[in-house]
Amino acid sequence: MTALSAILTVFATFAAMEFVAWSSHKYIMHGWGWAWHRDHHEPHDKLLEKNDLYGVVGAVASMSMFAVGSPLVLGERAWAPGTWIGLGILFYGLVYTLIHDGLVHQRYFRWVPRKGYAKRLVQAHKLHHATIGKEGGVSFGFVIARDPAVLKRELKQQAQQGIAVVREAAD
């Protein structure tokens, strides 16, 4: 692989991971995988959550791609793009950890953004947590955040239709 194609593979993988994260969050974490995700939506004072197991799944995916791309592991059967895909997954995981766990949930540091995209990310994810239970909801991505005003309208509509139970503070 050329250096340019390796770099493009890393960036393409990083971008694709937002779609993977959005869809797995919406359809797995808020679906059949709710047992691992539930404690993330409930108040607690534990250092770790069952939800953190999803990060382990992401790390295994990244390490698996590194192994697929490694001549040390697979010899001549190694697939070079695997290394760069693994790196893209790793970078997404690091950004997810900083934005979601660090900035939004303040698990690692305390900073409340007053403006800009960081504020929009925090607002969008807080609106995601405005529902009670796994049904309905908005803002399932982690890096891309839609306009909070639009998300509020969607939540209100879901509540009116009986799709989601929305906490009082979300109004």
Per-residue pLDDT in tens (0 to 9) along the chain, 171 residues: 899 999 999 999 999 999 999 999 999 999 999 999 999 999 888 889 999 999 999 999 999 999 999 998 888 889 999 999 999 999 999 999 999 999 999 998 899 999 999 999 999 999 999 999 999 999 999 999 999 999 999 999 999 999 999 987 544
Domain final residue, candidates 96, 111, 126: 111
Domain total for the chain? 2
Question: Do 129 and 84 belong together in one domain?
Answer: no
5, two tokens:
């194609």
Give me the pLDDT at residue 117, please. 94
54 burial class (0-12, 13-18, 19+ CB within 10 angstroms)? Answer: buried
76, two tokens:
């001549």
Question: Do 155 and 168 belong together in one domain?
Answer: yes
Question: Do 8 and 43 belong together in one domain?
Answer: yes
Question: Do 153 and 71 belong together in one domain?
Answer: no
Indicate the pTM of the whole model. 0.90
Cβ distance 14 to 88 under 8 Å? yes
Calculate helix-pair angle for 148-160, 116-128, nearest 10 degrees.
Answer: 10
Cβ distance 113 to 119 under 8 Å? yes
Question: Do 97 and 119 belong together in one domain?
Answer: no
Question: Do 88 and 124 belong together in one domain?
Answer: no
Question: Do 98 and 161 belong together in one domain?
Answer: no
Question: Do 94 and 47 belong together in one domain?
Answer: yes
Domain final residue, candidates 111, 138, 153: 111
Give me the pLDDT at residue 171, please. 44
Question: Do 13 and 91 belong together in one domain?
Answer: yes
Question: Do 25 and 44 belong together in one domain?
Answer: yes
Domain final residue, candidates 60, 78, 111: 111
Question: Do 22 and 86 belong together in one domain?
Answer: yes
Domain of 120, in residue numbers: 113-171
145, two tokens:
């955040």
Question: Do 91 and 130 belong together in one domain?
Answer: no
